[in-house]
């Protein structure tokens, strides 16, 4: 399964890299919503990933952003985002990539995030650590929120939370990015200290979850409970600022 995961991510990433900065037909899943862009590259990447998984594990379940779920009744599920950061891709920015996770039941066993233009390949397997281009990585050791760098993403998905800009001001640096997996692997590799995701889908976070966890990070829902890949609202961080970030974040929303 590991070989299939890595092969699918590399093959799909190669497609995205080859199609980067080429003329693309685009469509909108939701008319007029920039966050719902789908390109030919998204579709080509998804097709390649599905073909590799089907060839090796035809009886496994599949959840992908760009195709209908395939429930085969298996205990194993592949969770796929063939391109996270499509807006960046369309704008000619390199912060986009492939995200693939493998779960058994609700437990994520392994995951890959591949940023092909940046040449960054992240891989993690349960109880075996997280790696960037083969080198082990760990989260940061920043101990205070006011010294931290935190990123946020929020989608148009219906959610009881709406972004409150006041949460920005108690982190030293606060970023809104257009790629969820890019932000999360930066937490895993100690370039960001924390991350807030609002209105996420399983394919947005499943692979990044195990990469952050195996890098010794903390990853919970907004209630502070253990993450489930169906959780729409998540916080990832190093172990030092997680409680402070969670408490502060919810307090700010309750005041809004």
Q: What class, spelled out in words, does domain 2-137 have in CATH?
A: alpha beta
DSSP 145: G
Banded model confidence at residue 248, pLDDT cuts 50, 70, 90: confident
Under 8 Å CB-to-CB from 135, ≥6 apart: which residues? none
Q: What is the pLDDT of residue 185?
A: 97
Over 50: is that where the pLDDT of 223 sits? Answer: yes
Which of 108, 37, 94, 89 has its CA nearest to residue 66? 37
253, 161 contact by CB (below 8 A): yes
Distance of CA 27 to the CA centre of its chain: 22
CA distance 145 to 163: 18
Mean pLDDT across the stretch 192-198?
90
CA distance 44 to 177: 24
Mean pLDDT across the stretch 31-60?
87
Distances (CA, A) of 58 to 71, 78, 103, 231: 11, 11, 15, 27
Its pTM stands at 0.90
| Range with lowest mean pLDDT among 5-14, 52-61, 137-146, 164-173 | 164-173
DSSP 125: E
Tell which wins on pLDDT, 195 or 161: 195
Mean pLDDT over each residue of the chain, to the nearest integer: 88
pLDDT tens for each residue of 196-208? 888 889 999 999 9
Helices then strands, each counted (H, E), the chain: 6, 15
Banded model confidence at residue 80, pLDDT cuts 50, 70, 90: very high
pLDDT tens for each residue of 154-180? 765 545 555 555 555 555 566 677 799
Under 8 Å CB-to-CB from 16, ≥6 apart: which residues? 41, 45, 83, 89, 96, 97, 98, 116, 117
Distances (CA, A) of 120 to 10, 132, 190, 197, 243: 11, 7, 14, 22, 30
- Reported in sequence order, the residue ranges of 90-217 that DSSP labels E, i.e. its strands, are 97-104, 107-115, 120-125, 130-132, 135-137, 149-154, 173-176, 194-198
Q: What class, spelled out in words, does domain 145-255 have in CATH?
A: alpha beta
Distances (CA, A) of 231 to 89, 106, 234: 26, 11, 7
Q: Where are the domains of the chain?
A: 2-137, 145-255
Q: What is the pLDDT of residue 255?
A: 40
Q: What is the pLDDT of residue 225?
A: 85
Mean pLDDT across the stretch 60-82?
96
Residue 37: both structure tokens together = 């862009």
pLDDT tens for each residue of 92-108? 999 999 999 999 999 99
Evaluate whether 2-137 and 145-255 have a shared fold. no
């Amino acid at each position: 399964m590991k070989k299939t995961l890595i092969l699918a991510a590399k093959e799909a990433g190669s497609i995205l890299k080859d199609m980067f900065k080429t003329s693309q037909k685009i469509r909108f899943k939701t008319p007029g919503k920039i966050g719902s862009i789908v390109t030919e590259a998204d579709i080509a990447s998804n097709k390649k990933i599905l073909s590799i998984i089907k060839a090796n594990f035809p009886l496994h379940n599949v959840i992908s952003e760009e195709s209908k779920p395939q429930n085969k009744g298996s205990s194993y599920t592949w969770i796929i985002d063939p391109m996270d950061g499509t807006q960046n891709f369309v704008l000619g920015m390199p912060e986009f990539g492939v995200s693939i996770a493998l779960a058994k039941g609700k437990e994520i066993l392994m995951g890959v995030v591949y940023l092909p233009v940046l040449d960054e390949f992240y891989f993690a397997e349960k109880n075996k650590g997280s790696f960037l281009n083969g080198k082990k990585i760990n989260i940061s050791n920043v101990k205070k929120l006011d010294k931290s760098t935190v990123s946020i993403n929020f989608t148009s998905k219906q959610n009881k939370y709406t972004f409150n800009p006041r949460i920005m001001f108690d982190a030293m640096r606060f970023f809104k990015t257009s790629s969820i997996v890019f932000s999360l692997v930066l937490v895993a590799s100690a370039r960001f200290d924390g991350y807030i995701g609002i209105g996420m889908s399983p394919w947005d976070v499943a692979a990044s979850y195990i990469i952050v966890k195996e890098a010794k990070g903390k990853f919970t829902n907004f209630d502070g409970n253990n993450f489930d890949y169906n959780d729409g609202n998540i916080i990832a961080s190093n172990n030092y600022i997680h409680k402070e970030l969670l408490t502060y974040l919810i307090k700010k929303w309750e005041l809004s």
